[in-house]
Amino acid sequence: MFRRALEKLHNFRLLPVFVIVSMAIGIAIGKWYGISNFELTPPIDAIKSIFHGTYEFSIGNTLALGVVVGLFMMMYPAMANIRFEDLGKAAKSPKQLLIVIFFNYAIAPFFMLLLAKIFLSGEPDLYTGLVLYGLAPCIAMVIVFTYLSAGNGPLAIILVALNSIIQMILIPVYAKLLLGEIQFDVWVVGESVLLYLGIPLVAGMLTRFLGVRRYGEEWFNRLKFYLDTMSIIGLLFTLVVMFALKGDLILEKPFFIVQMAIPMTLFFWTMFVIVYLTGWKLGLNYRDAVAVAFNSTGRDFEIAIAIAITAFNPTVALATVIGPLIEVPVMLALVWFAKKTEFKLFRGRE
């Protein structure tokens, strides 16, 4: 019975239902506890406080750790499914790498700036939050969305690693170019890479390497079902936590959410479809086109939130926190879109 329940969870047709329920639970929790009234703790700071022995139990700290736990549950199974040899093959994909670099650094930040000017020019704090959100490409969840859409996981990891290096150099440049002189700790980028990418990658690859070495490939194939289950549960748990962060605000000021949702939804759909079709036009197969599209679309909300909290006022920070509430459901819709168009666009391509 337990396995049958897990199999229902794996059914992609039912996933939207689970997503909506998770969002509703998060909103209810946020409303019940009035979580928006509490100071938000950046996840990295909560982790640091544990190692320094200064952690204090609070709603802000607990939710910050909840984000870290949820993202690890999502990332670890995707990483465990990666073969070492596939990473080497993925690294030798110049066309894919160039597409991602071009769209992430020549198009995305400026497209988000344009949307901010069109939709939020009269709201300076929301404008700043939206521009911040567009600065850096995602270094974590795009791997999960690539995984859910049956894309090229090893390529997604290589692309994320490349983005991690480039954004450590370019984020200060883009921040000054698009927002003026602001002060923030650039090392927060490196810390995010370690926390959200490095730890799950090492844990996942060790699981695969040591498990297959000791118990064989058949054992790992059986384990894969439970790893996939963990990834989906992690996604739903992360949604509960994220929507709990601003559940009361969503109910009390829905227009505030709509103001951010319109430009962000336009950004994600436009970027994904253009890059996805560019990959198709340039002869990529489905798995590579999906990996490239998600890596050019997802934004690094952890970095945006961290910069907003340290360098701007609470309203700007609030705008960046709203970002993932919009991004995650939209990206799940893009997973559905990709799977629906795979056969029509990529039939016969290997």
Judged by DSSP in three states, 137 sits in: strand
Task: Write out residues in the chain with pLDDT < 50, as ranges.
Answer: 2
- Closest listed residue to residue 258, CA positions, set 328, 325, 317, 334: 325
Q: What is the spatial distance between Cα 334 and Cα 336, in angstroms, rounded to a whole number?
A: 5
Instruction: Cite the DSSP H helix spans in 92-198.
Output: 94-102, 108-120, 124-133, 141-148, 153-179, 187-192
What pLDDT score was predicted for residue 145?
A: 92
What pLDDT score was predicted for residue 49?
A: 84
- Closest listed residue to residue 239, CA positions, set 105, 59, 4, 63: 63
Placement of tokens 């666009």 in the chain: 345
Q: Count how many residues are written for the chain.
A: 350
pLDDT in tens, 79-107: 888 776 677 777 777 899 999 999 999 99
Answer whether 271's CB lies under 8 Å from 333's CB. no
pLDDT in tens, 256-270: 889 999 999 999 999
- Closest listed residue to residue 286, CA positions, set 238, 232, 340: 340
Q: What is the spatial distance between Cα 284 and Cα 59, in angstroms, rounded to a whole number?
A: 46
